[in-house]
Amino acid sequence: MRIVFFGECMLEHCDSGAFRYGGDTLNTALYLARMAEPGKLQVRYATALGDDADSQTLLQNWQLEGLDTALVLQLADKLPGRYRIYTDDKGQRRFQYWRDDSAARHYLREANNPLLSLLKEQGCDYVYLSGISLAILSPEHRQRLLDALTEFCRSGGKLIFDNNFRPVLWRDDPLPWYEKAMQLAYLALLTDEDEYALYGGDSVDAILARTAHIPYVLIKRGAQPCIIRSRKELSHVAGQRVAKVVDTSAAGDSFAAGFLSAWLCGVDVETAVTTGHRLAARVIQYPGAIIAAEAMQDLMPIKE
């Protein structure tokens, strides 16, 4: 099974001086690569970086984690974005970004793009992108990507869409773009608060009505049970309690990775959601978006 993630990875400003990084789709791709059973999943990441030393270190780290980086572009005139996280005593976070002209924003500036070529050739089974993936692109590049995805889905490919909504990133109206992505989605990973911020209201029923055409829908609701609609059937799966939340960064991203590691390999949806909850519960007990592999070793398959 072949899955491609598109988005942006940024460098994290860290007082300790440690080399840390993160980005919603990158977080999910990396955790999925760790959780994937050997020989069952090929996990690729598509983005743009610079040709500076930090970009080289990012590439090396991703390759060591098992990510296929053949779709990564290195743009000599650009650099990766940067961010800083501030967390309160409950682990809730606030971000500061430096990403207005990051390399990832320019990934689709050339028509002969490796990701677009891969989609045209049906060189993967699933594509994963998020609301943030769309937000960082110009309208022209956004449309270029969605046109390619439309043809990809018509030919049997499947789109996984995470609604991750960050209003500050949007320079135009996000709703038309979200609706285009949702029309293509085979699996939608939705956070209820992001849906309410986009569409107004506070009704789960309204979310389910809007997404009735999507075969698989997961609605994440913080500490409340995740709502699952699988082929019109509704169910709920509660999360895991955590005694001490340190940092909620990548909570949803790691949940998605845990879920996909099981679901893409044929595990039933409810069991796969439990796997997602288990990984997310572990990740939020550590600082940063990407925790050390040793901290989740017991959740990972044995790899020779």
Choose the catalytic residue: 54, 89, 253, 298: 253
Distances (CA, A) of 144 to 80, 112, 148, 151, 198: 22, 11, 6, 11, 23
* Other beta carbons less than 10 A from residue 35's beta carbon: 23
Token pair 């699996």 is found at 187
Q: Is 192 a catalytic residue?
A: no
CA 241 – CA 245 distance, rounded (Å):
10
Q: Are 193 and 160 in contact (CB under 8 A)?
A: no
Which helix (H) or strand (E) segment is 172 a member of? none
Pairing state between β 48-49 and 158-162: unpaired
- Copy the structure tokens of residue 193: 């608060």
Indicate the DSSP class of residue 258: H
HSE-up of residue 214 (Cα within 13 Å, Cβ side):
28
Q: Are 65 and 44 in contact (CB under 8 A)?
A: no
- The residues, ordered by sequence, that sit 6+ positions from 51 with a Cβ below 8 Å of its Cβ are 74, 75, 76
Active-site residue set: 253
